[in-house]
Amino acid sequence: MLQTVVRRTMAMEQEGKDCAGLRSAMVAIVRRYHGPPIDWEAAVGSLVEVVLREEFRECPRWADLWPSLSRKIARTLWEDPHSRSRLESLWAHLSGG
């Protein structure tokens, strides 16, 4: 889901559509967790949470679930080598690297 939202956000940027809110939130997370060392579990969990909140903003009744669900999703993404590589690329992109 994270990759889907990131791809959609990048496509919206290329089309000139406004997605500054999500991007700004993600960049703020990168700045907050900028290391070294980076607490990857917390950082990725925060990225996942901001994406979930954006993707499901029409479902505020689920908001209480986002923190715990985000941590579980983040852990799963981080444990998968392919997903980890993509997250590291996203991190580098958001940090301007």
Domain range holding 59?
Answer: 2-94
Report pLDDT for 4.
64
Cβ–Cβ under 8 Å, residues 1 and 56: no
Which of residues 70 and 23 earns the better pLDDT score?
70
20/85 Cα distance (integer angstroms): 24
pTM: 0.78
* Domain count of the fold of the chain: 1
Residue range 28-74, pLDDT digits in tens: 999 999 878 889 889 999 998 988 888 787 887 878 888 898 999 89
What is each CA distance from 48 to 14, 19, 31, 55, 88, in whole angstroms?
A: 22, 16, 15, 10, 14
Residue range 72-83, pLDDT digits in tens: 989 998 999 988
Report pLDDT for 52.
84
Report pLDDT for 16.
57
CB-count exposure of residue 46 (10 Å: 0-12, 13-18, 19+): buried
Phi-psi region of 60 (alpha: psi -120 to 50; beta: other; left: phi over 0): alpha
